[in-house]
A and B are shown apart, each in its own frame.
Chain A
C-alpha cells in the first residue's frame, strides 16, 4: 500500500483544467514548468489527456457552462485522482461570489484536496501547495 502511495506522490501527472479563469493563474502554472522552477524535478509532468492525470489543477470560477464540464472531467479521470484549486477564484470565488453567472463554489461540485490562494498565486506558492498536497496524501494512509 505504501509503495503505491509513495509512487503516486513521486510522480504526479498534472492535468490543467481551466474552469473559466482570467488566464493569469494558468500563466503562473506554466511558470512552474519552466526551467527556473522545473517541476519535473519532483516527477511532475503536464499531461494532455485526463485519462493519464493524477491531479486536476483547477483554475477559475465555475460558471453555468463549466460547472457540468468540470464534474464530467473529474468523473473521466482514473482514481485515485486528486484535485487542487489554484487561485482565489477556485478557492472561494472571491469577488465573483455575487455574479449572476456563478452558481456555486468549486468544492461544492467536486471534492478538493488542496487550496492554493492568491490572485494569481506565485510559482513558489504553487510548489508549496503541491508539497502540502503530497503531505496530505501521505498522512491520510
Chain B
C-alpha cells in the first residue's frame, strides 16, 4: 500500500514526472531559441513559471460550472497514474499487470478530455472553439495511435503486459529495428506529438488565432495544473515510446540517450513545421498516418 503510494506520488510517478517533465520543457525552450538564433530563457524557466502561477489569483468566470476547476485535477491525476504504471514496468518488467497497456491507452486520453470539459464549462466562445478543435484532433490521432499499439502487441506475440513487451524486446531485439516496428514508431511519434499539442498540431491552443483557445479562461493554479499535465505528458510519452519500441537493455545512460533522441525529434518537428488547420490535421492523421499504421500492422501480421 505504502509502496504503491510512493510509486504514485514520488518515484516514478508524480514528483519525478513533474521534475523531469518541466526540465525537458526547459530544454525544449532553450533548443527552440537556439534554432531561432536567440539566447532563450534559463533552463529552469518552467519551474519559475509554475511557482509564479500558483501564487496568482484564480478567476472563475461568471456562470462557469463546477467542472471548470475540477477538470485540471482529473488530467493531472490521470497522467501521473500512467507515469507511475509505465515507470514501474520499465524498472521491473515482471511486475506489470495484465492489460496495463490498455489502461495506459485510456489514461492517456483523459488529459484531452479534461481540457475539453474544462473549456466547455467556462462559457467562453473562443474556449468552445478550442474545445471542439481538441475533440476533432483527438478523434483524428487516436485511430493511428491504437493501430500502432496493436502492431506492437501483434509483434510481441499477443502480449498485453507492458512488461512482457519489454521482455520480448530484450530477448529478440527492439521492435524499432524491423519494418513494421519502424512504421508503427513513426506513426506513434506523430500521434504523441499531437497529444502534446506541439506546433503543427496546436490547433486547440493556437495563440495567434484563438488566443490560447481552450485555456483562455484559466488563470493561476488552474493554469499551472494544465501546464503540469503537459509536463508530465512530455515525460511519459517518450518513456512509453521507448518501452514499446526501443527497450533493449536496462542501462541508465543508454536510456537517457534514447529519451533525449525522442525529445530532439519532437523539437525538430515542432520547429520546422507551421501550424496545420484542423481539417488538414484530420486529413493528415486519417490519411497518410493511418495508412502507414495499417501497413505496419499488415507487415507485423506477415512477420516482418
Binding site for B on A (CB under 8 A): 3-4, 7-8, 10-11, 35, 38, 40-43, 47-49, 51-52, 54, 76, 78-80
21 A–B contacts from the bound complex (CB under 8 Å): A7-B55, A8-B55, A10-B45, A10-B52, A11-B52, A35-B36, A35-B38, A38-B40, A40-B33, A43-B49, A47-B207, A48-B208, A49-B216, A49-B217, A51-B223, A52-B215, A78-B56, A78-B58, A78-B59, A78-B220, A79-B56
Of A41, A76, A78, the contact of B40 (CB 8 Å cutoff) = A41
Of A10, A76, A78, the contact of B48 (CB 8 Å cutoff) = A10
Given contacts A47-B212, A49-B212, A52-B212, contact A35 B37 (CB under 8 A): yes
- In this complex, the interface size class of chain B, counting residues with CB under 8 Å from chain A, is 20 to 34
Q: Are B48 and A51 in contact (CB under 8 A)?
A: no
Q: Give the chain A neighbours of B208 by CB distance below 8 A.
A: 48
Given contacts A7-B48, A43-B42, A43-B48, contact A51 B55 (CB under 8 A): no
Q: Give the chain B neighbours of A4 by CB distance below 8 A.
A: 51-52, 55
Interface SS of B by simple majority: loop
Known contacts A11-B48, A41-B40, A42-B41; can you find 13 more A-B pairs with CB under 8 A? A7-B51, A38-B38, A38-B39, A40-B40, A40-B41, A41-B38, A43-B48, A47-B212, A49-B211, A51-B59, A78-B56, A78-B57, A78-B219
Interface 0/1 of B102-125, CB less than 8 Å to A: 000000000000000000000000
With an 8 A cutoff between CB atoms, is B245 at the interface?
A: no
